[in-house]
Amino acid sequence: MSITVRFAPSPTGRLHAGNIRTALLNWMFAQKTDGRFLLRLDDTDRERSTEEFAQGIQEDLAWLGLDWADMARQSDRFDRYAAAVQRLKKIGRLYPAYETPEELELRRKRQLARGKPPIYDRAALNLTVEERARLEAEGHKPHWRFKLESRDVVWEDLVRGRQHVDAASLSDPVLVREDGTYLYTLPSVVDDIDLGITHVVRGEDHVANTAPQIQLFEALGATPPAFGHHNLLVRADGQALSKRERTLSIESLREEGLEALAVAIYAATIGTSDPVAPHAGMDELVSAFDFEKLSRAPARFDPDELRLLNAKLLHALPYDAVADRLRAMDIKGGREFWEAVRENLNVLADAKLWWRVVTGPLAPAIADSALCEKAAALLPPEPWDEATWAAWSSAVKDATGAKGKALFQPLRLALTGEDHGPELKALLPLIGRTRAAARLAGETA
């Protein structure tokens, strides 16, 4: 059987790391099994869904390298949902109910007070044709409930193992509201059937939807797909991630300059038994992927841990992986430059800073002018290489008697204007003799 999965966000906000985790798990599963990964925009809520968010979702997925084989929008498929509603009505599995939210709340309270589970009592099923006609004549519009079969629903969850739900303990879910709009439950099932979804992989917050949805698949004459419910990401303070929170959106992580690969690795590996560690590429992430590695506890999303991973990833990144992006930043230092500076970067854009240090103009910081003067006089002729620094600094040491920090710090400050940074043996040949001599003399160069 070939595997088809989908990522089904609502375009009512930008994606955050938690959404991306769902997308990644689906995408990795499809990659690993040679299956298909689809994008479905759950935009039945016409008021809250926007085209801008729909575009944003696609941008974020593309940036992360999560390519989809096909895309569907629920707003294009209302006729399919209407057909499913007709079918359910015809087989007696969808019934009208007229209770107001206040009435339902009151009933719930009464049930709880009597120590009973607060399940919808199906009073609407007992309405006679006359009673219904009277309610409608009074202007009441029905919402429509799916009549569950009172039986055990069982599925082998890809993450949580065997799950049992006694459908008799559930309220018949509302599928269609009074105003004719759909709740998420039905459109999702109709789409999963039409798109041939074989595995529904989604967050744990949807576990409670699964038993009714399984019955819905069956009522519509389809075999239910397999289900997997992964643990959720929470903020460091334990709160759920929210779409309204811009700071943890994928967009803001991208704007901060983080690597797409770091964001993907982080979102895919926190809350698993794998360590959060750099990978050479998405392929490695895919081969390490296994539902069994997901932990059951919520995973904490810590932006600082992500930043640290991003830095580690850059430090190990080969030149070829960044050459184009360096060129786009007008950095022409090539492999030598990259290998000299990469371990000093938190984000790739930091490379610009060190490129300025190499090419100038840069105002040096002269901490010891006597030492710098002597050092300038001792600069050997070019060509320079990685051995130049050791030979030159030891000549300066012999000439001045300075050693350790007293020797290296004034030289670093004069040559780079900074008190820390890449190894000078790598930087010095890139800076070159002309600029080095000028900076040691206190000139901007």
- Binding-site ranges for ligand GLU (CB under 6 A): 8-10, 42, 184, 188, 200, 202, 206
Q: What are the beta bridge partners of residue 203?
A: 230
Comparison of 10 and 249: residue with beta carbon closer to ligand GLU: 10
Q: 108: Cβ–Cβ under 8 A, 6 or more apart, which residues? A: 118
Element (DSSP H or E) covering residue 247: none
Task: State the nearest-atom distance from the C-beta of 87 to ligand GLU, in Å.
Answer: 21
- For the bound state, the minimum distance from the C-beta of residue 21 to ligand GLU, rounded and expressed in Å, comes to 12
Question: How many CA atoms lie within 13 Å of 308's alpha carbon, on the beta-carbon side?
Answer: 7
**Contact present, 42 and 186 (Cβ < 8 Å):** no
Number of other CB atoms surrounding residue 227 within 10 Å: 23
Calculate the alpha carbon distances from 12 to 85, 239, 356 in Å.
Answer: 25, 20, 42
CB of 35 to ligand GLU, least distance (A): 16
Of 188 and 393, the one with the shorter C-beta distance to ligand GLU is 188
Smallest distance, Å, CB 57 to ligand GLU?
Answer: 11
Taking the least distance from each CB to ligand GLU, the nearer of 16 and 93 is: 16
* Residue among 197 and 253 whose Cβ is closer to ligand GLU: 197
Nearer to ligand GLU, 78 or 95 (CB): 78
Neighbours of 62 (CB within 10 A): 12
Residue 140 backbone dihedrals phi, psi, to 5 degrees? -80, 130
Q: In this complex, which beta carbon is closest to ligand GLU, that of residue 42 or of residue 259?
A: 42
- For ligand GLU, the closer of residues 29 and 384 by Cβ is 29
What residues are paired with 194 via a beta bridge? none
C-beta closer to ligand GLU: residue 229 or 439:
229
Measured in residues, the chain has a length of 445
Q: Indicate the residue among 188 and 231 with the shorter CB distance to ligand GLU.
A: 188
Q: What are phi and psi of 5, to 5 degrees?
A: -125, 170
CB of 218 to ligand GLU, least distance (A): 17
Residue corresponding to tokens 């800076």: 431
Least distance between ligand GLU and beta carbon 16 (Å): 12
Q: What is the dihedral of CA 387, 389, 394, 400, to 10 degrees?
A: 160
Q: How far is the CB of 186 from ligand GLU (least distance, A)?
A: 12
Rounded Cα distance between 104 and 368, Å, is 81
State the nearest-atom distance from the C-beta of 12 to ligand GLU, in Å: 9
DSSP one-letter string for 147-194? ---SSEEEEEETTTEEEEEEGGGSPPPEEE-TTSPBPSHHHHHHHHHH
The minimum distance between CB 192 and ligand GLU, in angstroms, equals: 8
CA distance 262 to 248: 14
For residue 337, the Cα-to-chain-centroid distance in whole angstroms is 32
Q: Find the shortest distance in angstroms from Cβ 39 to ligand GLU.
A: 12
Helices 424-440 and 369-377, packing angle to 10 deg: 100
413 and 364 Cβ atoms separated by less than 8 Å: yes
Measured distance CA(239)–CA(41) in Å, rounded: 26
- The nearer residue to ligand GLU, 202 or 412, going by C-beta atoms, is 202
